[in-house]
Amino acid sequence: MQIRRIAGALGAEISNVELSAGLSRAQAAEIRAALLEHLVIFLRDQPLSPQQFLDFAATMGEPIEYPFVKGIAGFPAIIEVKKLEDEHVNFGGIWHSDTTYLEEPPMGSMLLSREVPPYGGDTLFANQQLAYEALSGTMQNLLDGLTGISSSAKADVSRTREDRIRSDGKDTRAEVYVAEHPLVRTHPETGRKGLYVNVAHTVGIKGMSNEESAPLLEFLFRHQVKPEFTCRFAWTPNAIAFWDNRSAQHNPVNDYHGFRRVMHRITLKGDRPR
């Protein structure tokens, strides 16, 4: 197994491993360690069946269902993340950490590319630990005591789900989820602090009026995705991206209108942010 960094801020490609053959305990531990170090890891040329994809995910954590979209046939924990040729909005097409509106947001998420456009459709990732560490000590001290409010109903991201809910939505009436989490999260495995706000889901700060919280949040939303905190992944068929949702954000670039892009996604169970 070889691990190669792809950017200064975060991200590494892992090669010389065949997930379809299954992982030894040592290989699984090495991949998990790479995730903790690099926050997002990539494995190309992995033509996995849904069961093999789920088996790999189970070596990294506990797969769980996504709240709004039903899974593919026979695999409720695997959803299709897709944009069709006639669609103009891509699913989750905004900077975000996954489902921070849940009381226990996911530990991580995985995407496996099934169909990719001839160009475009890359995904950006941003290191939230670096973003926090780049702040002044005064700003860090201010943020350390604050609690953010996340909602699943924030308009900009809700619109990115509309096509998929129409085609693949769960039969139950869509719920609105709201949760409160610290603006600065301590990683439960590494102990590093990182920003835990995102423009897609964070709607306010507990104990502050909108007028008070909005300027602070707008500053953080701009700061946390500066180019020096990011990496970019160009998809190829049968590639996997696996990111640590506790310390990295992502943003799928919507620059391939007229072409089809289909991914399979698995979400892994997390814990309450502290």
Rounded distance, CA 215 to CA 225, Å? 16
Strand partners, 261: 83
Strand partners, 179: 150
172 to 70, 91, 165: CA distances (angstroms) = 10, 20, 11
Rounded distance, CA 67 to CA 52, Å? 23
Burial class (CB in 10 A: 0-12, 13-18, 19+), 164: buried
Residue 157 is predicted with a pLDDT of 62
Residue 92 is predicted with a pLDDT of 86
Query: pLDDT tens digits, the chain, 274 residues: what are they?
Result: 999 999 999 999 999 999 999 999 999 999 999 999 999 999 999 999 999 999 999 999 999 999 888 999 999 999 999 999 999 999 889 999 999 999 999 999 999 999 999 999 999 999 999 999 999 999 999 999 999 999 998 866 655 555 555 666 655 556 889 999 999 999 999 999 999 999 999 999 999 999 999 999 999 999 999 999 999 999 999 999 999 999 999 999 999 999 999 999 999 999 999 9
Class for domain 2-268, per CATH?
Answer: alpha beta
Residue 265 is predicted with a pLDDT of 97
Element (H, E) at 182: strand 178-182
Residue 174 is predicted with a pLDDT of 64
Rounded distance, CA 70 to CA 80, Å? 9
Residue 238 is predicted with a pLDDT of 98
Ordered by start, the domain boundaries in the chain are 2-268
Residue 171 is predicted with a pLDDT of 58
Per-residue exposure over 178-197, b if at least 16 CB sit within 10 Å of its own CB, e if not = ebebbbbbebeeeebbbbbb
Q: Give residue 83's Cα distance to chain centre.
A: 17
Q: Give residue 254's Cα distance to chain centre.
A: 16
Nearest to 235 by CA among 133, 83, 23, 28: 83
Residue 168 is predicted with a pLDDT of 63
Element (H, E) at 267: strand 261-268
What amino acid positions are annotated as catalytic residues?
96, 98, 250, 265
